[in-house]
Amino acid sequence: MKDDVIIPISMDWSKEEIIDVVNFYEGVDKAYKKGIDRELMLVLYHHFKKVVRSKGEEKGYFKDYEEQTDQSPYHVMKLAREAKDQKVIKM
């Protein structure tokens, strides 16, 4: 992840919720850089979705992150869901 990335978060979230969201984005970054265990990525997304429930809000956060990093959380999750025969996903 670039050093100057501002992870899209809400100040209304608890410390634990912020940690879950940051962990998800770190998983996305890992998928781009060296690969990540598919099941772990699905778990990270599940925790992310407990915090960011609305699809519209998710799209906004994903867009903000992608504009800063050129990494697509959407495409990482699409691959994680579809690549059932792969243990590790890498973008």
- Token output for 52: 């960011």
- Single-letter residue type at 13: W
72 φ/ψ angles, rounded to the nearest 5 degrees: -100, 105
- Residue-level pLDDT at 49: 97
Domain ranges of the chain: 15-83
For the chain, helix, strand, coil in percent to 5 are: 65, 5, 30
In the predicted model, residues of the chain with pLDDT beneath 50 are: none
In CATH terms, 15-83 corresponds, of 3.40.50.720, 1.10.220.80, 1.10.287.180, 3.40.640.10, to 1.10.220.80
Query: How many CA atoms lie less than 13 Å away from 54 in the CB half-sphere?
Result: 4
What is the predicted pLDDT for the residue at 1?
A: 56
